[in-house]
Structure 1
Amino acid sequence: MRYLRLEIRYASEYQRPMHRFMTESEAIKREWLVTWKVGVEDKIAYTLFYVVGDREPYESALSTVEAMESYDITPVRDEAFYAFVRGRETDQSRQFYTAFEQPTLMVVPPVAYRPNGIVLFDVVGEPAVLEDVRRELPDGITVNVRKVGEYDASPGTFETDLTSRQREALAAGREAGYYDVPRTGSVEDVAKELGCAPSTASNHLRKAEAQLVERVFR
C-alpha cells in the first residue's frame, strides 16, 4: 500500500483565519488537526485541534472568527491544549474536503498546520489519483508531493517512514540502554541484538532517528 506525503500551500487570502494568525503572531508554535467531520443536516464543521503555544492569544483570536459557532479549550500541559471548534462550513472548506473524497485515497491524520499557509499530511492510496485531487482543489491552493513510499506505520504512532528493520533497531537500542540518560548501552550492544555489524546497526539507528526528528518538526 502506497502513501504520499503532501504539502499544501494556501495563498494568503485563502487561508483560514487561525492559520493566518499562526503566521502573523508568535503565539502559536505548532498546530495539528487531529480529526474532523461535517454535520449532514446542519453543515457545521466539527474540528479537533492540538495546539502548542500561548492559549490566551489563541482563544482571543478564535473568538473573533466569523464562521465560528462555539469552541471548547482543554489544557493538556504547559503551552499545549486541545481546541474543539464548531464552525459553519465554508464553500472553500467543502471544496477541499470533496477533493480528497476519492475512493482510492484516504487522508491519514493528524494534519500539520505551519506558518505561511503550509499544511502537511499523508494520504494512503493510488498516486495516480492525486491528479484528480489537483483538479478539484479550490483556486489559491497548490499541492506538492514531498515523498512517496510504502505505508507500514503502526496504528497510533507517527512511524510512517520507518522500515521494520529501523523499528527493530530502535527497540533494540531502547532495550539495551542506548537511549538511557546517561547511556548504558552501545551501538555494539544493538548490533549484537540485531545480528549485524556495528556499522550497520549505527546506520539503522541514524536513519530511524532522522525520520523521527522530521516527524516532530514537520
Structure 2
Amino acid sequence: MRYATVTLSWNDGHPDPSDGPLGRSEAISIEAIRYLNPVSEDDDRYVELLELRGDLERARTLLEATPEALEFDIAGDGTHGVAYVQRRTVGPVGDLLSILRTHELVVDWPLSVVDAGSGRALELTVIGTDRAIQRAAADLPDGVALDVRRLGDYDPNPDRDTRPRGAPGGSPVLTDRQRELFELAWNEGYYEVPRQTTQRDLADELDLAAGTVGEHIQRIESKLAAAYARPRRQ
C-alpha cells in the first residue's frame, strides 16, 4: 500500500479551491477542508466541513448571501471555527474527488489550503496502489499543477513523529508546508534565546513575503501549543 502527499494549484484562469465569497474575503481564511462528499450519487448537491479562521460573523453573512449555499451552520468562537455547508456545486474540488473515486484512491482527510506562489493551493494525501496514484495524476485536467511532496509506503501509525531532530514536543498536526518552515526556523535558531534569525531572513530563504511567514509561524505556534496542552490519552 502506498501514499502520496501532493500540492495541487489551479492556474490558467481555473478557479482555485478556496474560490468563492469565503475564499476571497480578507476577513476569513479557509484553513482546511475537513470533509466533502456528494449528498447522493444522483444529486449535484455536496456537503462540506470547512475549517475557518478569522471573523466568523462575517463568514455567516457571506454564506447567507451565497446562492449556492443551500444550508449552513458554523460552530466555534473567537477567530477559529468549522462551517458545515450544503451547496449545489463544489467546483474544482468536486472534479478532483471525482478523479480520485474513478481511480479508487482513498483521501486522508483533511485537505489543507496553503499558500503557493501567487495563489492558494490544496495539500492532500491519498492512499492506494502505485498504479492508481500514477493514473490519477495523469488524469488531472489542464491548468492543474501537481507538486509531489512525499511518496512512499503507507504507515498506518497515526502517531508517527514529525518533529525535526532535536526539537521538543514532536506533533503530527502540522501540514508539510508548515513543517518545512518550522524545521527551517528551528535549525536557523529562530527559537533560540536570543534569536539567531528573523522572520525576514526565513522569508528570504523560502522566497516568501515576510508577512506570509509571520502568519504561518502564528498558525504553527497555535497548533503546537494546542497539541501540547491537549491531555494525553491514558
TM norm structure 2:
0.60
1:45 matched to 2:6: no
- CA gap of 1:109–1:143, structure 2 versus 1, over 3 A, is same
Give the root-mean-square deviation of aligned CA atoms: 3.4
Deviates more, 1:78-87 or 1:15-24: 15-24
User: Could you report, residue by residue, the CA deviation over 1:156-203 in whole angstroms, capped at 9, with x for unpaired residues?
Assistant: xxx4xx3xxx48xx9xxxxxxxxxxxxxxxxxxxxxxxxxxxxxxx94
Structure-to-structure mapping, 1:66-215, within 5 angstroms? 66-75=67-76, 77-89=77-89, 92-115=92-115, 116-155=119-158, 159=159, 162=160, 166=161, 203=165, 205-206=166-167, 209=170, 213-214=174-175
Partner of 1:217: helix, strand, or coil?
helix
Kindly indicate whether residue 56 of structure 2 is the aligned counterpart of residue 55 of structure 1: yes
Q: What amino acid sits opposite 1:120 in the alignment? A: E
2:214 alignment counterpart: none
CA distance in structure 1 between the aligned counterparts of 2:169 and 2:175, rounded to whole angstroms: 10
1:112 is displaced (CA, Å) by 0.7
Distance 1:32 1:72, change over 3 A: same
Q: What does residue 176 of structure 1 align with?
A: none
SS in 2 for 1:100: helix
**Deviation of 1:107 (Å):** 0.9
Larger Rg: 1
Q: How many residues align?
A: 175
Shift of 1:100: 0.7
Structure having the larger proportion of residues in helix: 1
Secondary structure of 1:4's match? strand
- Give the conservation status (yes or no) of the 8 Å contact 2:34–2:109: yes
Are the aligned partners of 2:114 and 2:120 in contact in 1 as well (CA < 8 Å)? yes
Question: In 2 relative to 1, CA 144–208 (structure 1 residues): closer, same or farther, beyond 3 Å?
Answer: farther
- Aligned mates of 2:61, 2:13 — CA distance in 1: 21
Does the C-alpha gap of structure 1 residues 79 and 71 become closer, same or farther in structure 2, counting only changes over 3 Å? same
**What CA distance in whole angstroms lies between the structure 2 residues aligned with 1:53 and 1:31?**
10
Q: 1:19 to 1:27 in 2, by over 3 A?
A: same
SS of residue matched to 2:155 = coil
Structure 2 CA distance for aligned equivalents of residues 150 and 31 of structure 1: 27
Partner of 1:117: helix, strand, or coil?
strand
C-alpha distance in 1 between matches for 2:109 and 2:15: 19
Tell me which amino acid in the other structure corresponds to 1:206: A
Structure 1 residue ranges without an equivalent (≥5) = 171-201
Q: Which moved more, 1:91-100 or 1:11-20?
A: 11-20
Q: For residue 217 of structure 1, what is the aligned residue in structure 2?
A: 178
In structure 2, do the counterparts of structure 1 residues 64 and 48 end up closer, same or farther at CA, with 3 Å as the change threshold? same
Report Cα offsets for 1:63-89 as digits up to 9, x if no partner. Answer: 3334221211112x4211111101112
Distance in 2 separating the partners of 1:3 and 1:126: 8
Query: Judging changes above 3 Å, is the alpha-carbon distance between structure 1 residues 74 and 125 closer, same or farther for their aligned structure 2 residues?
Result: same
Give the 3 Å change call, closer, same or farther, for CA 147–17 of structure 1 in structure 2. closer
Q: CA deviation at 1:133?
A: 1.6
Question: Could you tell me how far apart the structure 2 residues matched to 1:49 and 1:16 are?
Answer: 15
- CA distance in 2: counterparts of 1:18 and 1:61, whole angstroms: 14
Query: What TM-score, normalized to structure 1?
Result: 0.64
